[in-house]
Amino acid sequence: MLNMQSVIKVTNLTKQFKNLTAVNNLSFSVNRGDVYGFLGQNGAGKSTTIRMLLTLIAPSSGEIELFGMNLKQHRTDILRQVGAVVEKPDVYKYLSAYENVSLFAKLSGIKVTHQIIMDQLDMVGLASRAKDTVKTFSQGMKQRLGIGIALVHNPQLIILDEPTNGLDPQGIADIRNLILRLSREMGKTIVVSSHLLSEIEQVASRLLIIEKGKKLVEGNANELFDPAQTIVEIETLDNQFTITKLLESDWKSCLQPQRGNNILLKLHKEKIPELHRSLVLMDVQVISIQPRHSLEDYFLQITANSQHVQAFTN
């Protein structure tokens, strides 16, 4: 069972709340060892999907398989292999970090030794604060403690729903590094939902982007960021003059809808020097030429409505 390639397989999943379709005929798969970035703006259906994966709510229709087993039929066996943190972790603030891990292990029917608890706290960077009460912790430390608790039974699959919400830059970096460690050093399969594109870009090996409960795109990160689809942002002293010149040239087909005050073209990154030479020959006064091959730029290519990008990047 554990040698199967697919850890999660979702087929035609739909969830309706009265007149609202929160998840709409969604299909995707997560492979063993993936750090799977589950992306969408707030309200896109990410948390609803995750709650269905964890059996917290029931689907209206569709199928969910985890570890090759039907979730509805094998719920108990499946959830023994899953650890999750949904939104902010529920921890007891007047107990110490050590006492929280010990208590949750007992509530889950797991026998743990002192060493196992300390190993869990060390893994999430809290061993030195084991005896301190959680009320003295920052939100980022509480988040890491929640992840440590979710891992106490050594699950194969870890699901994190918006794990960096409300964290400061250091807290976000700590969670990012923890995700990478769990993946690279411990071989865990991880699903991370977020609306922060820049964070997911730094950790994900595969991506799913959804909008209004529907899948926009799914695939390997390195395939989605094809160098032949590089967005180049140009700043000049006279953008209108530059656009006119580009429209009269062979670069016309590369022009993209303008974002802000700068000019965007889509081309293979190896053509950037040639573009620069062409602009000089056109007497364009160039201030900067900047390749922007990021997840945010990819998202701009697959959605026509710029308001979504604002929701992702605010």
CATH architecture of 227-293: 2-Layer Sandwich (3.30)
Q: Which helix (H) or strand (E) holds 307?
A: helix 307-313
Burial 276-296 (b: 16+ CB within 10 A, else e): eebbeebebeeeebeeeeebe
Question: Do the domains at 1-81+157-171+181-222 and 227-293 have one common CATH topology?
Answer: no
pLDDT digits (tens, 9 = 90+) for 118-166: 998 998 999 999 999 999 999 889 999 999 999 988 899 999 998 888 8
Give the C-alpha separation, 266 to 253, whole Å.
9
Q: What is the pLDDT of residue 14?
A: 96
What is d(CA 57, CA 49) in angstroms, rounded to the nearest whole number? 9
Both structure tokens of 55 = 């059996």
Mean pLDDT of 83-103: 90
Q: Is it the case that residue 24 has pLDDT exceeding 50?
A: yes
Structure confidence by residue, pLDDT tens digits, 43-55:
889 999 999 999 9
Give the whole-angstrom CA distance, residue 204 versus residue 161: 14
Contacts with 73 (C-beta within 8 Å, 6 or more apart), sequence order: none
Which residues are within 8 A (CB) of 67 and not within 5 positions of it... i.e. 6 or more apart? 1, 2, 4, 7, 78, 81, 156, 157
Can you give the pLDDT at residue 298? 64
Return all residues near 189 (Cβ < 8 A) that are at least 6 apart: 7, 30, 31, 32, 33, 34, 36, 156, 157, 158
Query: Predicted confidence band at 296 (pLDDT cuts at 50, 70, 90)?
Result: low
The pLDDT assigned to 311 comes to 43
Domain extents for the chain?
1-81+157-171+181-222, 92-154, 227-293
**Class of the CATH-defined domain 1-81+157-171+181-222:** alpha beta
Residue-wise pLDDT tens digits, 219-251: 887 776 666 777 888 999 999 999 999 999 999
Q: What is the pLDDT of residue 269?
A: 80
Answer for the pair 28, 213: CB distance below 8 angstroms, yes or no: no
Q: Give the bridge partners for 209, in sequence order.
A: 39, 217
Quick count: other Cβ atoms within 10 Å of Cβ 114?
A: 9
